Amino acid sequence: MDYARPKSKSFLSKRAVIVAVAVCALLGGGITLARIDFSTQRVERRKVTIDTVKRGTLEVKVHANGQLLPRNVEYIASQVTGRVAKALVKPGDVVKTGDVLVELGNPQLVASADEAKSAWEGAVNEAKAAEAEQRANLLNQEAVLTQAKFAMQRAQGRLTAETKLFGRGIVSEIDYDNSKLTVAQTTEQFALEQNRFKAIRDNVKVQLDVKQSRVDELAKALDRARDQVGNLRIVAGIDGVVQEISVDVGQQLQPGAPIGRIAQPDQLYAELRVPAREATEVQIGQNVVVDTRNGTVDGTVTRVDPAVTDGTVIVDVDLKGGIPAGARPQLPVEGVVYLSQLPDTLYVGRPAYVKSNAAIAVYKLESGGAYATRVPIQAGKVSLDFLQVLAGLEAGDRIITSETGEWQSKERILLN
């Protein structure tokens, strides 16, 4: 016969303990869940950047990319039509003024120069022959004039002598009258020969001037032809380094065709492209630090382009002191332009996408540091890394400066 065995007291005690523990766990979990904030947007703390508001002197500066450019550049172009016969230099070669860079060929120009030389030499010979002929004519007329002068003087002398004799009755009246007539005739002949000599002399000058003008005209034509031939040899106009040679042997060139570029690498300046919205306060004379990625060099703003190009303003910077090793034309650089200093002002790390003198909203951390509340502030000057705070924050406040992303419309966030 079977009998029911009563359960042991130890088994009942263990079961009671398990039940008690389970009840406590449920109560603890309920309390924890009650304390968790499920309504506030959660943001991972490691994904945000937090900065503290400070008071002090804020240096306002802007960042810009750019490049180094040579201050003295010679752009070389063809002056004549020709085919490239020789390219004597390559980019990187050091050249002196007058060094031949490229030689062109054009037989027609050479032939034209030879023809111009022949024409000039012919004109010179013709002018010399004409001068000799005219000088001979002038000498002949001068001889005739001399003879007329002597004839007049003889007639005048005879008349003077006969005048004395005529008073004594030694010379007849007929002879005396003939002597006076001879004087008149020789005097008139002498005057006529004088006028003829002057006319011939003037004509000689005119004829020689015409011939000389022709010689001068052909001499200029010869010079132009020689210049054209000389332009077949492309030479350097400055001392420097060849930056570019853009022609190949056999290439046909027309006047004005680009051939190359020479620069003086020891005289460089920086051309920075400052974003237009940040360039409003850039002025001539402001200090700049230019980073060539192989060192930095100080500089000064020397020119600010009045126009906006592709959203940027071009700023030229004169470099001071020694240029870092490896600096060369077209080298990409970064520059920081120092605009001004704001003493005794509030500033904080620059939030993303902030503009100068704008009313914006930022997330300020609450005292415990777990929550951040969206608060309005008045922004002042925007610097490279910092933002001036005019109102809405105090020294010691901490704000989120990184991009707020999807939660930027939330009034309050929880940092995990």
Whole-number percent of the chain with pLDDT over 70: 91
What's the confidence (pLDDT) of residue 404?
Answer: 82
Does residue 12 carry a pLDDT above 80?
A: no
Q: What is the mean pLDDT of the chain?
A: 88
Residue spans of the domains in the chain: they are 45-69+267-415, 72-104+232-263, 107-230
For residue 107, how many C-alpha atoms fall within 13 Å in the half-sphere facing its CB? Answer: 0
Provide the residue type at 301 as one letter: V
348, 56 in Cβ contact below 8 A? Answer: no
Determine the straight-line distance between the first and last CA of the chain, rounded to whole angstroms: 69
pLDDT grade, residue 236 (50/70/90)? very high
Superfamily name and number for 45-69+267-415: Efflux pump adaptor protein, beta barrel domain (2.40.30.170)
355, 379 in Cβ contact below 8 A? Answer: yes
Cβ count near 124 (within 10 Å): 16
Token pair 């409003």 is found at 280
Judged on CB neighbours under 10 Å (0-12, 13-18, 19+), 253 is buried
For 241-273, write each residue's pLDDT tens digit.
999 999 999 999 999 999 999 999 888 999 999
For 380-395, write each residue's pLDDT tens digit.
999 989 999 999 999 9
213, 122 in Cβ contact below 8 A? Answer: no
Provide the residue type at 163 as one letter: T
Rounded-to-integer distance, Cα 210 and Cα 142, Å: 23
Does residue 166 carry a pLDDT above 90?
A: no
Within 8 A by CB and 6+ apart from 39, the residues are none
For 306-315, write each residue's pLDDT tens digit.
999 999 999 9
pLDDT grade, residue 3 (50/70/90)? very low
Please give the structure tokens belonging to residue 358: 């704008």
What size, in residues, is the chain? 416
221, 117 in Cβ contact below 8 A? Answer: no
Collapsed DSSP state (helix, strand, coil) of residue 221: helix
Strands 412-415 and 41-43, by their bridges, are parallel
pLDDT grade, residue 32 (50/70/90)? very low
Count H helices, E strands: the chain? 3, 21
Considering 13-22, 31-40, 102-111, the range whose residues carry the highest mean pLDDT is: 102-111
Token pair 């024409």 is found at 119
| Out of 35-44, 91-100, 184-193, 377-386, least confident range | 35-44
What's the confidence (pLDDT) of residue 183?
Answer: 86
Does residue 280 carry a pLDDT above 70?
A: yes
pLDDT grade, residue 95 (50/70/90)? very high
| The CATH number of domain 72-104+232-263 is 2.40.50.100 | yes
Region 107-230: CATH code? 1.10.287
243, 89 in Cβ contact below 8 A? Answer: no
pLDDT grade, residue 207 (50/70/90)? confident
